[in-house]
């Protein structure tokens, strides 16, 4: 079997066009230009690239993308002061604090909690996480929402099927599991209603657990740890991992092996990555609409 390659880049471009059209319509109806404020603390090269890409994507969608750059030693108090200012600024609709913060002198939880839940486009605030748990989300976390959109647009139903999510981070694994276990989602009941297993570093017999999955989602951060023998023949494989190995980016899944077994798979790069930014733009527009009403 040679797996179908799920083209996240193409789907992300489609979503970005849709968001741009919605933004234009919103502004034409008298709404404010949606604005996303990114806060970047320190000089981490990967974070600088992410923030630059986000700003460019905003511009293309007709969203005002502002970047606030602070030096690594600015400190917790000053960072909280900036977040309070952005919370109070009516021209700012979405706020994102680029992670990781430079060092442990920053209390990451307190900083993320300080973002106004109505401007929390990363969906990290306890209120937005709680709303998702209850099946009435306001903002959906960008990476898992991108995966739902990808599955939906390729019509890869998970309803009634076994999904295994490997990795239980607050950003990817946990919300992913929750979204696919709901009664319905943004792509309807077919991209929900799954029987979900959430695996992690303490899962016994990970290979066995993965092999039972009709849809396997790897969000671990370990290069190529999901090997071909861990995949059920015909399964759909979604690889969230982005790992730098030498000068190459590789996923959490051994791609060539997986292609022999799976029915469909996302590549790295060009799979899940581009969808994350597309969904951030989508959330910024939702934030602008929420704050208008
Ligand atoms: P975290 O480091 O926060 O979480 C990793 C998870 O993997 C943890 O739950 C951990 O388990 C689990 N894990 C670690 N080792 C093993 C193992 N040997 N077997 C089973 N589970 C294991 O990572 P993130 O969720 O933030 O990111 C995961 C990957 O996805 C990274 O490569 C990251 O770069 C990428 N990523 C990609 C995005 C995109 O846009 N494409 C967006 C966000 C992340 P435990 O909880 O027990 O420690």
Do 252 and 168 lie in a common domain? yes
Same domain, 113 and 185: no
Residue 227's pLDDT is 98
Map tokens 């494989």 to a residue: 237
Number of domains in the chain: 2
pLDDT score, position 293? 75
Q: Which of 226, 264, 251, 230 is nearest to 150 (CA)?
A: 264
Mutate to test the pocket of ligand 1, among 240, 270, 277 (most ligand atoms within 8 A of CB): 240
Q: Are residues 90 and 173 in the same domain?
A: no
CATH number reported for the structural domain that contains residue 92 in this entry = 3.40.50.10860
257 is a catalytic site residue: no
User: What is the DSSP pairing of strand 248-250 with strand 243-245?
Assistant: antiparallel
Q: Which domain holds residue 59?
A: 33-117
The question of whether 119 is a catalytic residue gets the answer no
Strand partners, 217: 165, 238
Kindly report the protein residue whose alpha carbon is nearest to atom 22 of ligand 1. 201
Residue 239 sits in the same domain as residue 151? yes
**Does residue 277 form part of some domain?**
no
User: Which of 11, 123, 219, 271 to probe ligand 1 with, by most ligand atoms within 8 A of CB?
Assistant: 219
Pair 273, 266: CB distance under 8 Å: no
247 and 155, same domain (yes or no): yes
Residues 90 and 181 in one domain: no
3 Cβ contact partners less than 8 Å away, ≥ 6 residues apart: 237, 258, 259, 260, 261, 262, 263, 264, 265
Q: Is residue 146 domain-shared with residue 93, that is, in the same domain? A: no
Asked whether residue 197 falls in the same domain as residue 251, the answer is yes
pTM, two decimal places: 0.97
Answer whether residue 76 is part of any domain.
yes
Is 250 within the bounds of a domain?
yes
Per-residue pLDDT of the chain (293 residues; tens, 9 = 90+): 799 999 999 999 999 999 999 999 999 999 999 999 999 999 999 999 999 999 999 999 999 999 999 999 999 999 999 999 999 999 999 999 999 999 999 999 999 999 999 999 999 999 999 999 999 999 999 999 999 999 999 999 999 999 999 999 999 999 999 999 999 999 999 999 999 999 999 999 999 999 999 999 999 999 999 999 999 999 999 999 999 999 999 999 999 999 999 999 999 999 999 999 999 999 999 999 999 87
Measured from the Cβ of residue 107, the count of other Cβ atoms closer than 10 Å reads 14
Question: What is the CB < 6 Å shell around ligand 1?
Answer: 143, 166-169, 171-173, 199-203, 206, 219-222, 240-243, 272-273, 276
| CA pair distance 207, 111, nearest whole angstrom | 37
Residue 283 within any structural domain of the chain: no
């Amino acid at each position: 079997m040679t797996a179908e390659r799920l083209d996240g880049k193409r789907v992300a471009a489609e979503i970005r066009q849709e968001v741009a059209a919605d933004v234009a319509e919103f502004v034409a109806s008298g709404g404010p230009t949606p604005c996303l404020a990114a806060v970047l603390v320190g000089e981490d090269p990967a974070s600088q690239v992410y923030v630059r890409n986000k700003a460019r994507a905003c511009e293309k969608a007709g969203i005002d993308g502002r970047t606030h750059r602070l030096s690594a030693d600015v400190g917790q108090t000053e960072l909280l002061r900036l977040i309070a200012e952005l919370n109070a600024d009516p021209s700012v609709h979405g706020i994102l604090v680029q992670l990781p913060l430079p060092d442990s002198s920053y209390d990451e939880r307190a900083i993320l909690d300080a973002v106004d839940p109505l401007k929390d486009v990363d969906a990290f605030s306890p209120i937005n996480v709680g709303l998702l748990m209850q099946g009435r989300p306001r903002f959906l976390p960008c990476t898992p929402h991108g995966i739902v959109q990808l599955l939906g647009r390729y019509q890869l139903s998970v309803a009634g099927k076994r999904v295994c999510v490997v990795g239980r981070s607050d950003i990817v694994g946990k919300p992913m599991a929750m979204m696919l276990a709901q009664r319905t989602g943004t792509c309807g009941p077919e991209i929900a209603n799954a029987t979900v297993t959430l695996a992690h570093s303490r899962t016994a017999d990970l290979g066995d657990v993965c092999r039972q999955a009709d849809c396997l989602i790897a969000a671990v951060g370990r290069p190529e740890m999901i090997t071909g023998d861990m995949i059920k023949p015909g399964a759909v494989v979604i690889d969230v991992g982005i790992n730098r190995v030498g000068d190459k980016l590789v996923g959490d899944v051994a791609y060539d092996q997986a292609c022999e077994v799976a029915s469909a798979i996302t590549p790295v790069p060009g799979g899940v990555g581009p969808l994350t930014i597309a969904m951030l733009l989508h959330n910024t527009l939702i934030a602008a609409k929420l704050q208008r009403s």
